[in-house]
A and B are shown apart, each in its own frame.
Chain A
Amino acid sequence: MVSFRCVRASNLTGPVLVSLRTLKAIDLHRTIQSHLNSDGANSSSSKSEAEDAKFAIRIEDAAGQDFVGSGLRFLSNMEVIGDVGDFALMSFGEGECKIEGNAGHFFCHSLHSGLVILRGHAGDSLCALGASGFVAVYGNVGHRVAVGMQGSELVIRGSVGDYACLGMRSGSVVIGGNAGKDFGQGMVAGTIFLRGDAESISQDVEENRMREPDRLKIGLLMIKAGIKSTGKEFRMFRSIHSE
């Protein structure tokens, strides 16, 4: 069962539109409890139904508020109309989110899992320390994209700034445009697919020839991001430190 809720951003007080404790602990918990009570005690069917109970949230008129969706989990769908500020979707996981606007710095910081699509531009440090999950950005991104990333998958349609993939440990990054200075600085492991040019490439990364599994991988990432491209025109970079 999916409960749908529409929230108008201008009606909410404070910078937090939705947080883990306020939504999950109160609303979601009540929903699960009501399912359990109405169907009788702890029968297996009611339990499974309660576990399937998820929320769909639509936030309208967002105007660059910070910390939107911080720590949200167990959402079936979240949609934001407008821009979001810094540290939006921090530690987000186990759900899908679409944002029809731009995002500030540290978007999807510590991403846990799930799928996020941003139709606008993003600021610095996109997907920093991302542990897992998938992020697609249709616009350009600022500096230090995927800094310290540890397993997430990131597709960027536009260009990225300086220090892209700084200290990246694991995961995949697809960059459809150009990259800035010191591309791949301090990268430990992971894979970067770059379509355009980089101002300067760090000595920590080297270009590798794409093999069939790599082509398959970038093709799947593109399909997941909803971008029509086979990925043939991309170059692949890996860390010289990775085994």
Chain B
Amino acid sequence: MKNAPWWLLGIVVVVALVWAAWPEGETSATERAHELASELRCPDCEGLSVADSSTASARAIRADLSRRVRDGQDDDDIRQEYVDRFGESILLNPEGEGIGVLVWGLPVLVLVVGAGGLVLALRRWRLEPAMHATSADEELVARAQADRASEP
């Protein structure tokens, strides 16, 4: 029972990770096209995704995405087509390679280091006694032991 909080924390972490990583069900062609549209930056507006914009470019891209999805093209291939045509900046989310790895990896690194530090700190606090005996306490104990020893 001493380690129960740690076990509980472990179970919560595992459940959260499994829940986050659990594959979603099949998405429809419309949903896939919309997801891709929300990942692409509208080429002729500031800070809006293709899904959120109503410019002619955004409308044309949405139609193109729907057609490509219907034609059975893979999501990665579709993204790559757009990167080839517009450059990396067409992607709202940075790629998970090159310098993009740092964007994704740095928060994880900070989290791991932070969690490690927390664990070490908690262990240290637990190992250290909460109260130290003063010399008066020690004298009191010594006297009590002496009295007990002298008892018949």
A and B: interacting chains: no
